[in-house]
Each structure stands twice: as C-alpha cells, then as structure tokens.
Amino acid sequence: MIPIADDNSRRRTTPWVTYLLLVTNVAVFVSTALSTPFEQALTFARYAAVPALVTSDPTTWPTLLTCTFLHASWLHLGGNMLYLWVFGDNVEDALGHVRYLSFYLLAGVAGSVAQVLVDPSGTVPLVGASGAIAGVLAAYVVLFPRGMVRTIVVIVPPLFVWPVLPAWLLIGVWFLLQFWSGLTSLTGLAGGGVAYFAHVGGFVAGLVLARALARPERVRRGVDRRVRLVDPYEARRLERRRGTRW
C-alpha cells in the first residue's frame, strides 16, 4: 500500500516547513551524490550516526540529528519524501510551523536513539529521515484519527487498484510491519540494512509529542472534518450540537 494523497480541503496554512524539509533532504542527497567517492565517504563519516561511536564518544551525539538528513539511495529518499509530502502538511497545520519543526527534529532524534539503544555496539552507519517520518505518521493518526488516504495497491505488476483507506489502517499496518521486522532482525531471521527500531522509536515519540504540541483548536478541527468524510450522519449530529457549519 503506497499513499499518494489525503484530504487537504480545510487546511488553513501553507506548509512552508514541510516544503523546506523536502527541499533540504533532496538538496543534501543531490549534493552528496554529485561529489567524489572520497567526499561521499567523508560526509557519511562526519554526519552519519554509528551506534558504537555514539555510545562511546559524546562528541558524536550531534550525528543523531544530522544522520536524518542523509539517505543511501534515490529509493530511500523517495519513499521518505513521499510520506512526508502526503502526511506532513496536515500535521504542520495542526501543530503550527515552529512546533512542527521541533516535533520533526525531536522524532528524528528519538528514532536514532532507539536504534542505538537496541544495537549499541553496531558499526553500520544510521542514515535516513525514517524516524522523523514515523513520528509524522503517528501524529497524523493522533490528530486525524478518521482521516482517509488515497493509496496504490499493486496486485500483480502492472495491475493495481486505487483504494481510499482509513489512515489508522494504513499507518497501523505500516507500524506493525516495522515492529515485527525489528523483532525478527534481532533473531537474525530478517536481513540487515534497515534500522527498524528507528522507525519504532520515532513513531512512539510522535504519539507522545503530538498531543503535547498540538494547538487545541486545530485538533478539534482536524478530528471533526475527518468525521465528516467518513460518517456524514455523525458530522451533521456534531454540527447541530455545536452550532457550527462546515
């Protein structure tokens, strides 16, 4: 299931921070990809988080954040930026620009810390915005529990369908897959190369931070408009009770 769009009809602000994060991640990747192999190795050595170094040398702690702006491939970058594009704007609208930026960075660091705690002696560098994106997904479920998301589901290539799914289902399945893959990676049953617990850690941080940072009026508006999309009868009942209009 690949998300491609959600409902933005009642978003009141321009998601400037989401745009900035998208541009920054792409710019960092392109500049790194266009550099020489030596310069690429130097960039990853300086800014990627290596668990064994983080647990032994406090001077490397800033890499818990800087690693979230590095990506290993176009596919890695594209997947993260797609999820940020679909879900980030509404979360930014609910939190506000400054709080959203703080939220994103904190979720990214939380994801890095979670992976380091699970594998403190690891020597494989951690890179990618996945922890921060996982936090955004968690915030979306908290703030827009009845949200609907247009997705692409591939049946047998090139056959696919375009269902509209509840956000809680799409994101819930995604989280369960990350958690299960993380557990199997600890037993050696799953292949390496993916920091699953960075996803889990970022998601848990997002659940905790979303309610703490959200502006109350945006939370109510976000929940109510999703009620309207899913259950028109319930939306009309809320409208009569609160004397509001859609």
Query: Which member of 71, 112, 185, 199 is catalytic?
Result: 199
Phi, psi of 149 (to 5 degrees): -130, 130
User: Phi/psi class of residue 161: alpha, beta or left (left: φ > 0; alpha: ψ in -120 to 50)?
Assistant: beta
Helices and strands of the chain, counted as H and E runs: 11, 4
Query: Which member of 71, 112, 130, 185 is catalytic?
Result: 130
Check if 35 is active-site.
no
Written as six digits, the tokens of 81 are 């930026």
Q: Hey, is 214 helix, strand or coil?
A: coil
Check if 76 is active-site.
no
Residues 71, 127 contacting (CB under 8 angstroms):
yes
User: Rounded distance, CA 186 to CA 240, Å?
Assistant: 53
User: Rounded distance, CA 121 to CA 100, Å?
Assistant: 32
Residues carrying an active site annotation: 130, 199
